[in-house]
Amino acid sequence: MPRIYILTDLEGVAGVARWDQTGATTRGYAQACRLMTLELCACVEGIRSAAPGADIWVWDGHGCGSIDLELFPSGARLINNGPTTPPTLLDRSFDALFFLGQHAMAGTPAANLAHTYSSEHIARMRVNGSDMGEFGCRAALAGSMGVPTLFVSGDDKIAAEARALVPDIVTAEVKVGYAPQLALHLAPVDARDVIRQKAASATTMIGQVRPLVIPGPPYTHEITITGRTDPDGYLARGYTQINATTFIKTTSDLALLAI
Ligand SMILES: [Zn+2]
């Protein structure tokens, strides 16, 4: 039976489009978490329809968490949100990685809630000279373990970003991004139908899609910070400053990029 790891986030969920829905103390957060978890239930249903005995582990990867525990789907197992960094319990034994509720990388034009790890601190990230967001960094980390990435849901911009790296990935586009805090959404129930169908399709592709492998080691990690960020933090971690806002480091550790 396949083992599937689902990495959840909040910014790519249908109905979620503004920062006042994604922070732990924001007014729309509780509803956003419910919407996220109902998309998770649909994703698990889709996987189960294709592989009834699938072993499904779910990591609550949004910064402050985004899973409503009371709605968590029966049979799946939860890796709770907390003080941890990827690859949280991800290892070679998994057959596939799914991204649910994912967002595009910082700086993506017309993308909804695009950012790379920290919307306040990171303006741009490049790996080996190419722009890379959370999807790419984490898919590459999984790839280094031999685990392919088969599914992503979110807006049309993360779908395009994912296809550029994993051409055969199955995408569930639940909204169209227009601006940082503006999107055109499917009705949540319709988004769940799309996710259910696409997750089933992705499950049938296990064994047919190669893991994402990027050249290296070593890997060149380049971060452009925003004006709110203290450069000393990067200097202390061994980065070299190449201009006022850009820091670079060569590393052999892909996990460093998948923070
Ligand atoms: Zn998030």
pLDDT at 257: 73
Averaged pLDDT for residues 12-18: 98
Return the C-alpha torsion angle 37, 118, 110, 140, nearest 10: -80
Q: Rounded to the nearest whole angstrom, what is the distance from the C-alpha of residue 153 to the centroid of ligand 1?
A: 13
Q: Please give the biggest Cα pair distance in the chain.
A: 53
pLDDT in tens, 148-183: 999 999 999 999 999 999 999 999 999 999 999 999
Q: Rounded to the nearest whole angstrom, what is the distance from the C-alpha of residue 241 to the centroid of ligand 1?
A: 28
Say if residue 86's pLDDT is above 80: no
Q: Rounded to the nearest whole angstrom, what is the distance from the C-alpha of residue 78 to the centroid of ligand 1?
A: 17
pLDDT in tens, 197-237: 999 999 999 999 999 999 999 999 999 999 888 889 889 98
Q: What tokens does 151 get? A: 């599914």
Which residues lie at CB < 5 A from ion ligand 1? 9-11, 62
Give domain limits for the chain: 3-118+133-213
Q: Report residue 159: phi and psi, to 5°.
A: -60, -45
pLDDT band at 188 (very low <50, low <70, confident <90, very high): very high
pLDDT band at 258 (very low <50, low <70, confident <90, very high): low
Q: Rounded to the nearest whole angstrom, what is the distance from the C-alpha of residue 192 to the centroid of ligand 1?
A: 19
Q: Which residues of 184-201 are buried (b: 16+ CB within 10 A; e: fewer)?
A: ebbebeebbebbbebbbe
pLDDT at 95: 98
Q: Rounded to the nearest whole angstrom, what is the distance from the C-alpha of residue 35 to the centroid of ligand 1?
A: 14
Q: Rounded to the nearest whole angstrom, what is the distance from the C-alpha of residue 15 to the centroid of ligand 1?
A: 14
Say if residue 184's pLDDT is above 90: yes
What is the C-alpha separation between 185 and 16, in angstroms, rounded?
A: 9
pLDDT band at 259 (very low <50, low <70, confident <90, very high): low
pLDDT in tens, 38-55: 999 999 999 999 999 999
Q: Rounded to the nearest whole angstrom, what is the distance from the C-alpha of residue 18 to the centroid of ligand 1?
A: 12
pTM confidence score = 0.96
Q: Rounded to the nearest whole angstrom, what is the distance from the C-alpha of residue 101 to the centroid of ligand 1?
A: 8
Looking at domain 3-118+133-213, its CATH class is alpha beta
Q: Rounded to the nearest whole angstrom, what is the distance from the C-alpha of residue 10 to the centroid of ligand 1?
A: 5
Q: Rounded to the nearest whole angstrom, what is the distance from the C-alpha of residue 40 to the centroid of ligand 1?
A: 15
